[in-house]
Structure 1
């Protein structure tokens, strides 16, 4: 089915009650997970994808590709959901578009969720997945880009920092959609279209568990930015996480990391998930794909040189 192009005000009117009901502090996380997974098919993925279940680092994952996908690089995608909800299924529309528009396979990791598995379980799973992606496919670190949204964006940054510090591995690029890089920070507003202050604080507490909130794996905004790969940050100015993204971009630039930054107006938190419903969301999704594709193609050109 072809994409439709709802006007942004209509899309916002439709989505607002859905998010208010689903991402609600009063609902158990298990129920939120089921509701998000049930809503996944409404966010239509592009036709023609090839989905294959795999395992990475001992966790279930999905490899998404198309008939013309190249194997000269890959993207590891870490889904959002406050570290407590979200799944391969809930993010399939977004990740399938990335596979189609980049021309590279996208590996989507089903990392462990809080509160059953608090920090550092998700980061440990992401680290193990990246390392196994290297050993199982023969990719070098610079042939793998890391991307994620919201909590998955923060996890992507924390993963890159850990890979550099522990293993000396630098990924090809980081593609971050409204990354949650400091869960300990209390939002200065009650809510945006998608997430609320009470819900985000409940997720932060669930993810932290008994860990130290000063641990940079939990708050990668305060981690070491030196040596990170080129990074792209997308966020809408209306989002609760907008101030964090501004601070992240400033920290990256201070560390002299090449940064691309897109501030949209009129969208919402991770609107890329609804790219099949409205053209502006599809446009920012394509911009992210273009950034990741160019970063991976640059690696290919270096090999040929």
Structure 2
């Protein structure tokens, strides 16, 4: 397998200057995007991953599957040809950076551990395309999976990290409100669900207050902060599917994730919540390098797989 594990202190020491340079509000966004794409080359894709370029809802996308069931998979998932559904993955990056390339490793690990096809979407980014362009793209992609690929809504999970986690939540709300349909589950990695909130800390290992506030302004554009979908934490949470929220206690978004979990439970949503210690914002991106990150991503994959494909009596024989 094309991956190796590195001790946490070494990874943290390497990542700290990388993110200080790249996620910097004073650096042009085009430069941020180019640097992140370059750094993503260090995040390896597991052997046996098949990456297929396609279009979903008129936007570039990738379908990623594991060619075979990988021995030792923590989820003991079925081979992809027997998988009963799919995962639509929405990448993070403050709605202004991030791409298919930056998240290909994470998506491929999720495909391996879930044994489902994972569709990664290149939605439009701000400031060129502010809200609600990304949400419109995500909605079109989900409906494309239903209307043209042939999945039923309950066969599709939504997942995303950071801004992509917020987008996944906003999409689930829009699907309920506009179409009366819901995905099978939500898998949210440190989701940014309320860009109107100002972080109480200056920075964590990955993101900082100045950069996140600049991203929030770019994403909002000329819209009003009260528009449905911009801050999904403030929207209607009733009727949402089972949701798994992961976050590290050191993150700027830790308090916001706890608020989300409380609000979801108050709305009657089944929620699983896990808090790591010693990782960083969306450490799952480094699953190929960090054992603890790989473990967290495996747990998310198992949650999503079981939402699509519940364990049957045959699986227990």
**Structure 1-normalised TM-score?**
0.96
1:240 and 2:264 aligned: no
Tell me if the contact between 2:36 and 2:102 (Cα under 8 Å) persists in the aligned partners: yes
Q: Which residue matches 1:86?
A: 98
Query: SS of the counterpart of 1:11?
Result: helix
Give distance in 2, aligned partners of 1:95 and 1:299: 23
Deviation at 1:214, TM superposition (A): 1.6
Paired residue for 1:264?
A: 276
In the TM superposition, what are the counterparts of 1:44-55 in structure 2 within 5 Å? 44-55=44-55
Shift of 1:144: 0.3
Aligned to 1:23: 23
| Matched residue SS, 1:194 | coil
Q: How does 1:283-302 map to 2 (within 5 A)?
A: 283-298=295-310
The secondary structure found in structure 2 opposite 1:119 is coil
In the alignment, structure 1 residue 189 sits paired with structure 2 residue 201: yes
Residue in 1 aligned with 2:36? Answer: 36
**Aligned counterpart in structure 2 of residue 136 of structure 1, from 123, 148, 151:** 148
CA deviation string 1:49-106 (max 9, x = no partner) = 1111111111010000122313520000000000000000000110000101001000
1 CA distance for matches of 2:240 and 2:296? 23
* Distance across 1 between alignment mates of 2:308 and 2:267: 22
Offset at residue 244 of structure 1 (A): 0.6
Other structure's SS at 1:298 match: coil
Distance in 2 (CA, whole Å) between partners of 1:156 and 1:55 is 19
Partner Cα distance (1:216, 1:4) in 2 = 43
Give unmatched runs, 5+ long, in structure 2: 68-78
- Identify the residue that residue 71 of structure 2 maps to in structure 1: none
Aligned Cα RMSD in Å? 1.3
Aligned to 1:99: 111
Which digits, 9 at most, give the CA deviation of each residue in 1:135-191, with x for residues without a partner? 112111000000000000000000000000000111000000000000010000100
Alignment partner of 1:263: what SS? strand
Contact 1:25 1:199 in 2 (8 A): yes
Partner of 2:60: 60
SS at match of 2:55: strand
Could you give the per-residue CA deviations for residues 234-285 of structure 1, whole angstroms, max 9, x where no partner exists? 0000000001100000000001100000100000000000111111111101
2:214 to 175, 178, 202: 202
Count matched residues.
301
The correspondence for 1:69, drawn from 73, 80, 87, is 80
The residue number in structure 2 matching 1:173 is 185
Provide TM-score, normalisation by structure 2.
0.93
CA distance in 2, matches of 1:146, 1:112: 18
- d(CA) in 2 for partners of 1:34, 1:138: 35
Give the Cα separation in 2 of the matches to 1:115 and 1:299: 44
| 1:211 aligns to 2:223 (yes or no) | yes
Structure 1 unaligned regions, length at least 5: none
